Amino acid sequence: MITLPLPGLHARDVRRIGDHAAAAEARRFLHPVQQALLHRRGWLKMLAPRSCGGAELPLPDVVRLEEAVASIDGSMGWVLTLCAGAGWFAGFLPPPIAADIMHTRRVCVAGSGAPTGYAEQEGDGYRISGSWDYASGAPMGTHFTLNAVLRKDGQPMLDASGQPSIRAFIVPVRHVSITPSWSTIGMRATATHRYAIDGAWVPKEHGFTIAPEAATADGPLYRFPFMSLAYVTLAANIAGMAAHFLRLASDLVGRRQDNASAMLSDKMHQLAQKREHFYQALDRCWKLVEQGRTLASQDMDAIRATSLALVAISRCAVDELYPYCGLYAAREDTDINRVWRDFHTAIQHKLFTA
């Protein structure tokens, strides 16, 4: 049996997350009890700077917590990861703006990284228009992040290489309209909807650059490369969901008289090994950044490789064991079926299919 440490999770938290997972899927967004827990524990601000009201937790602790939550409810783990990850951008905003955002009641930053909108330069700011897909946790969002192509006088502004210049922005929810658009076999409770902005003007200080040299907060969190952070946080979610599936599968596979039990044991062992390698790479790279060093290309390659290896064994374990779980696992009203659907929806993320 795979058991995961549950950092920061009390037994009561585990029950609150798990007991409401099925109801959250039915209502197609996190249950109010789950939402309240995210706010009460401050998890949505755990990557934001302490200087603006965040917790600024060490990244390895954050990743382990996200994995633990995903191992109880994949949708809640995903919303936590994506919205806390968007909160990390506070470390790249002017401190007064970051503080104003992070002190918002029940703050939750949602958003999308696709540059599917425009930001027209106007006075001392930009007028933003466009629509963006896949904002996990959208119904909770108090602020939304986005990427937009910069324009002046209706024409795209170009960067140093002659390509359209793209900038990240953060806007309050009052400028945003959300369109329910999330219709998938799994991860239903993430409410990963589309949102649009129609000509909202924001000061230029609401634009930001995601790069260590552009950080406005001093901690090591904001010197950790963005893509490396994305790999470890999302891979941990996949591993958590896979571990949840294997726990549920063990009760079904254990009743069989064929070699399925041996396969289950083997997949658990392989997953545990890849998970250990994954955290070894993360912990080592985090220590380097804590010491003030810049991660070399081989360090970032190790983060990517161990993340993808963890995802690959997770996929292999779930896919190879599912046929041995019987028709019970094909019933949509069972926990194992929900976890299977959540897993196969999350694994479609472009980070793991590129």
User: In this structure, what CATH number is given to the domain that contains residue 240?
Assistant: 1.20.140.10
Amino acid letter for position 141: G
Residue 294 located in a structural domain: yes
The DSSP call for residue 332 is T
In a shared domain, residues 283 and 168: no
- In a shared domain, residues 63 and 116: no
Instruction: Give the pLDDT score at 256.
Output: 65
CATH number of the domain bearing residue 41? 1.10.540.10
4, part of any domain: no
Which pLDDT does position 190 carry in this prediction? 98
Same domain, 86 and 138: no
Residue 5: inside a domain: no
Q: Where are the beta strands (DSSP E) in the chain?
A: 109-111, 117-122, 125-135, 143-152, 155-156, 166-172, 177-179, 193-203, 207-208
CB 242 within 8 A of CB 343: yes
Among residues 227, 226, 218, the alpha carbon closest in space to that of 292 is found at 218
Instruction: Work out the pLDDT band at 313, boundaries 50, 70, 90.
Output: very high
Provide the domain count of the chain. Answer: 3
Please tell me the predicted confidence (pLDDT) of residue 257. Answer: 61
In a domain, 34, yes or no: yes
Out of 71, 102, 133, a domain closes at 102
pTM for the predicted model, two decimal places? 0.96
Based on the fold, state whether residues 182 and 129 are members of the same structural domain: yes
What are the residues facing 177 on neighbouring strands? 196
- Evaluate whether residue 345 is within a structural domain: yes
What is the 8-class DSSP label of residue 158?
B
Domain boundary among 155, 179, 214: 214
* Interval 262-286: pLDDT, tens: 899 999 999 999 999 999 999 999 9
Percent of the chain with pLDDT over 90: 93
Give the model confidence (pLDDT) of 146-205 as tens digits.
999 999 999 999 998 999 999 999 999 999 999 999 999 999 999 999 999 999 999 999
Confidence bin at 254 (pLDDT 50/70/90): confident
Domain with 22, as residue range(s), is 11-102
What CATH number is given to the structural domain containing 133? 2.40.110.10
Statement to judge: residues 269 and 319 lie in one domain: yes
From 214, 236, 258, give the residue that closes a domain. Answer: 214
CB contact at 8 A, 28 and 182: yes
Centroid of chain to Cα 166 = 22
Q: In a 3-state reduction of DSSP, which class is residue 114? A: coil
Same domain for 133 and 81: no
CA atoms of 266 and 219, how far apart (whole Å):
41
Structure tokens, 17? 């997350």
